[in-house]
Amino acid sequence: MEENQYKLCAEILKRLNTAGILNKIILIGSWCIPLYKQYFSISDFTAPLRTRDIDFLIPFPNKIKENVDIPALLKDLGYVVGFKGTYGFIQLEHPTLMVEFLVPEKGKGTDKPFSLPQLGLNAQTLRFLDLLSSKTITVRLEDIPVILPHPAPYALHKLLIAQRRGYKEKALKDKRDAISVIRNIFENKEDQALLEVFKPLPKKWQKMILKSLEEETEVEILNFMKSATVSKMENSKKGQYK
């Protein structure tokens, strides 16, 4: 991570916090990594940070009531409004760090942007993002409280989306980043958080996560996660005979 990237990220977070909306959104993506390093209180956290994007998730229900023109809020930092894709998803563009807002996909989903008029933006809807808001933590960056996914849903989400990646290189990076985070979860003795997040997931999602672990021959982690599906089946059978 370059120093100018870090400084710009911190300034963005500071402004969103002052505007009163940072506590209603979740920082997701690779920028969680340096904050996990702080959360785990370790110096040898192995997952690298190589990104030019900072992504924010607006969970449902949207709790933002404030009217904050985010493009105007960040304009003096050099941000300009850009549009991507056929439907014009808004991305705030900068040579150092792009900013984008996302919302969870609901139902059958849509290719069209989700309008956020109170923020002067729209957001792209993506599958599986609900998982990232299922369990969150708050970590301070330069004394700014930042909400981000607990490392457990972060890692499981990475394993999940790896199965839908069109590019093998990105899928491999997702899986290896996830495994690095999971190993630190084990070191931090928070392995039960993985099961807490994994057990309620749809069976199809669970299978996709397990497949990613199988592809990386992560036997220890794979067996641990499989124990959740076994115990779930046993509890279901017990319920049938009550």
Question: What is the per-residue pLDDT for 1?
Answer: 57
User: Would you say residue 124 has pLDDT above 50?
Assistant: yes
The whole-number pLDDT of residue 41 equals 85
What burial class does residue 203 get, using C-beta atoms within 10 Å of its C-beta: 0-12 exposed, 13-18 middle, 19+ buried?
exposed
Q: Mean of the pLDDT values across residues 46-62?
A: 80
Q: In which band, very low, low, confident or very high, does the pLDDT at 48 lie, cut at 50, 70 and 90?
A: low
- When pLDDT is averaged across residues 41-50 and rounded to a whole number, the result is 60
Give the mean model confidence (pLDDT) for residues 102-122: 90
Residue 198: predicted pLDDT: 97
Phi and psi of 41, rounded to 5°? 55, 50
With cut-offs at 50, 70 and 90, classify the pLDDT of residue 240: very low
The answer to whether residues 70 and 118 touch, using CB atoms and an 8 Å cutoff, is no
> Is 85's pLDDT higher than 50?
yes
> Where do we find the tokens 């990646």?
165
**Over the stretch 68-78, which tens digit does the pLDDT of each residue have?**
999 999 999 99
Higher-confidence residue: 143 or 43?
A: 143
pTM of the entire predicted model: 0.90
User: Residue 17: is its pLDDT beyond 80?
Assistant: yes
CA dihedral sign, ordered 73, 78, 84, 88:
positive
- Mean of the pLDDT values across residues 38-67? 81
Structure tokens given for 96: 């150092």
Average pLDDT over residues 225-237: 66
Across the range 100-123, mean pLDDT stands at: 91
Give pLDDT, residue 229: 78
Compute the mean pLDDT over every residue in the chain, rounded to the nearest whole number.
Answer: 90
From the centroid of its chain, how far is CA 165? Answer: 16
pLDDT tier for residue 153 given thresholds of 50, 70 and 90: very high
Return left, alpha or beta for 3; rule: phi > 0 is left, psi -120 to 50 is alpha, else beta. alpha
CA dist., res. 158 & res. 79, Å (int): 29
Least confident range of 14-28, 47-61, 90-104? 47-61
Of the listed ranges 2-6, 60-64, 150-154, the one predicted with least confidence? 2-6
List pLDDT tens digits, range 161-208: 999 988 889 999 999 999 999 999 999 999 999 999 999 999 999 999
